[in-house]
Amino acid sequence: MNRNILILIVSLVILVPLQVFVFRNFVFFNLGFCFIYLLFLLSLPRELSIGLGMLIALILGLVIDLFYQTIGIHAAAGVLIMFLKPYWLNVNTPRSGYEVNYLPTIPNYGLGWFIVYALPLVLVYSLTVLFIEAGNTGLFWMILSKALITTVITLFFVVILQYLFYSKAR
- DSSP H or E segment with residue 103: none
Q: Helix, strand or coil for residue 32?
A: strand
Cα 113 to the center of its chain, rounded Å: 15
**Residue 36 located in a structural domain:** yes
Residue 117 has pLDDT above 90, yes or no: yes
Assess contact for 63 and 41: CB atoms under 8 A: no
| Domains contained in the chain, number | 1
Residue 170 included in any domain: no
Query: Could you tell me the pTM of the whole model?
Result: 0.91
Q: Is the predicted pLDDT of residue 36 greater than 90, yes or no?
A: yes
Half-sphere exposure of 9 (CA within 13 A, CB side): 6
pLDDT surpasses 60 at 37: yes
By the 8 A CB rule, do 47 and 101 touch? yes
Check residue 168 and give its pLDDT: 62
Domain span at residue 67?
3-165
Confidence (pLDDT) at 167: 67
Domain contains 148: yes
Provide the pLDDT confidence category of residue 1 given band limits of 50, 70 and 90. Answer: very low
**Which range is least confidently modeled, 6-15, 21-30, 81-90, 91-100?**
91-100
pLDDT tier at 170, thresholds 50, 70, 90:
very low
Distances (CA, A) of 140 to 33, 76, 143, 145: 17, 20, 5, 9
88-113 pLDDT per residue, tens: 998 988 777 777 778 888 988 889 99
Q: Is residue 87 part of a domain?
A: yes
pLDDT tens for 126-169 read 999 999 998 877 788 999 999 999 999 999 999 999 988 876 65
